[in-house]
Amino acid sequence: MHDDGRYDDPRVTGPGEGTSAAGPVSRETNFEGWPASGEPHDPSTRPPDCDPVVRRDAPQAGAVRPTSSVPANVPPARDPHDPNGGPANAPASRPAPVRGNAAVPARYEPQPPVVAVPQQPTPESAPDGAAGTVAPPSDTPPAAGYGAEAPASTYVSRETPTREEDDPPLAMEAMRAVQILNPSGEVTMPRPERTRVMCVANQKGGVGKTTTTVNLAVALALHGNRVLVVDLDPQGNASTGLNVPHHTGVPDVYDCLIDSVPLEEVAQAVEGIPNLWCVPATIDLAGAEIELVSVVARESRLARAIAAYPGHFDYVFIDCPPSLGLLTVNALVAAQEVLIPIQCEYYALEGLNQLIQNINLVRQHLNPKLEVSTILLTMYDRRTRLADAVEQDVRNHFGDKVLEAVIPRNVRVSEAPSYGQSVMTYDPGSRGATSYFEAAQEIAERGVKEPVSRNA
């Protein structure tokens, strides 16, 4: 087919040959030997190798097809481009091919010719010396637009995983949920040789201290560790996250600090989480800082209460308020390790230097065993460059103390406290639960690698 509407007719050029000297012939162009439009038609002057065709510009009403003078034993020429073997230059039974990007009419559905493919010989049946000529079966799908369809046995949907390890998202989420909840209790995290008392502190508010305390404690308790959470924040958010009553009149940590009530009389078992206990905090704790000023050994009141507890815990997490007052100092004196949650924003870094200075003062004068052992990056937003910059600065400064696990911004983590749950039980398949589970596992493994180095 040419740009001007002409095509190469096989009767002039011959099949498989180029354009002859006579030039290409159009459907609307008279063949050599035929009279021009308006001249009288003489059947004897038609070409002997073609069948006469009614001209498109000739009147159709009453038109008489001239009789053929071709001998009966000579078959008419066939169009090699017609899969049905129709005569050459016959009136098109379908629309002409559309050039360019024009759409093919909906009524025209091209049907490819059915070609019998010979059976390929197998290597076993091939003669000697001909094994190299056997073509391997091809997995390449047919060309697009040709109309051929792949066999039903080889068809693969886009929504079907092509590998066994590529599980659908719901299946992966269910697997993570089972791993985190550990309903059978068979999977356990490493238990330390001694009680690890960890103080979760940061003078900057809203960096995830309470959320980190609650979720790490639940993750460790679900995997075989005995955990105690001491809520030292007068707001009582850790008690809320563990669904522990902390209204006015409930025995709380204030009684332990001011009235020297034993800790086992105040601790409450967390419902639904085995091996987890919580010492709640009420609004009375807000006045403890003023009352502790006149108390003897005011900085070590909490340390003595924890040491006098008759039971054994693997982990004791102390949730500190967002300040550097006497409550935070009591937590730093009672603890052996400091876990600092750092929000991936600039303000969280600004007050970090002052927190480190206070920790050094407590180490020098009150608790020489205290050490900053763990840094956890929280509220990480992968869409911002600021989060990457903060992460790099923290890792460059603190080195191996920064956990590899990073807590992302996740709405499930914020929704869980409104239901009195941690994200580990509220939505165990979420990214937030998975991240806190990885952080808890990393903390447990680090405690086993260095069991007694922090007591020296």
What is the count of structural domains for the chain? 1
Which residues contact residue 371 at a Cβ distance below 8 angstroms, ignoring those fewer than 6 apart?
336, 337, 338, 363, 454
How far apart CA 440 and CA 298 sit, in angstroms, is 32
- Is 417 contained in some domain? yes
- Is 109 contained in some domain? no
pLDDT band at residue 121 under the 50/70/90 scheme: low
Q: Does the structure show a pLDDT above 60 at 224?
A: yes
Nearest to 8 by CA among 18, 362, 202: 18
**Over the chain, what is the mean pLDDT?**
76
pLDDT of amino acid 425: 92
Question: For the segment 237-266, what is each residue's pLDDT rounded down to a tens digit?
Answer: 999 999 999 888 889 999 999 998 999 999
Average pLDDT over residues 163-185: 75
Average pLDDT over residues 386-398: 91
Q: Does the structure show a pLDDT above 60 at 184?
A: yes
> What is the CB-side half-sphere exposure of residue 430 using CA atoms within 13 A?
21
Q: Does the structure show a pLDDT above 70 at 441?
A: yes
Burial 144-155 (b: 16+ CB within 10 A, else e): eeeeeeeeeeee
Decide: 177 and 431 in contact? Cβ < 8 Å: no
Average pLDDT over residues 300-314: 92
Q: Does the structure show a pLDDT above 80 at 1?
A: no
How many helices (H) and strands (E) would you count in the chain?
A: 14, 7
In single-letter form, the type of residue at position 287 comes to: G
- Is 59 contained in some domain? no
Question: For the segment 125-134, what is each residue's pLDDT rounded down to a tens digit?
Answer: 444 544 444 4
Average pLDDT over residues 285-291: 88
Average pLDDT over residues 140-145: 47
pLDDT band at residue 321 under the 50/70/90 scheme: very high
pLDDT band at residue 17 under the 50/70/90 scheme: very low
Q: Which residue has the higher pLDDT, 270 or 78?
A: 270
- Is 365 contained in some domain? yes
Q: Does the structure show a pLDDT above 50 at 230?
A: yes
Q: Does the structure show a pLDDT above 50 at 110?
A: yes
pLDDT of amino acid 18: 46
Q: Which residue has the higher pLDDT, 322 or 452?
A: 322
Q: Report CA Rg, the chain.
A: 43
- Is 163 contained in some domain? no
Average pLDDT over residues 60-88: 55
CATH number, residue 290: 3.40.50.300
- Is 5 contained in some domain? no
Look at the alpha carbons of 359, 360, 365, 367 in this order and tell me if their dihedral is positive or negative: positive
Question: For the segment 275-286, what is each residue's pLDDT rounded down to a tens digit?
Answer: 999 999 999 898
pTM above 0.75, yes or no: no
Q: Does the structure show a pLDDT above 90 at 107?
A: no
- Find the domain containing 300 and state its range: 196-450
pLDDT band at residue 87 under the 50/70/90 scheme: low
pLDDT of amino acid 143: 46
How far apart CA 9 and CA 354 sit, in angstroms, is 92
How far apart CA 296 and CA 329 sit, in angstroms, is 15
pLDDT of amino acid 78: 62
pLDDT band at residue 363 under the 50/70/90 scheme: very high
pLDDT of amino acid 162: 40
- Is 133 contained in some domain? no
Decide: 340 and 201 in contact? Cβ < 8 Å: yes
- Is 81 contained in some domain? no
Decide: 253 and 231 in contact? Cβ < 8 Å: yes
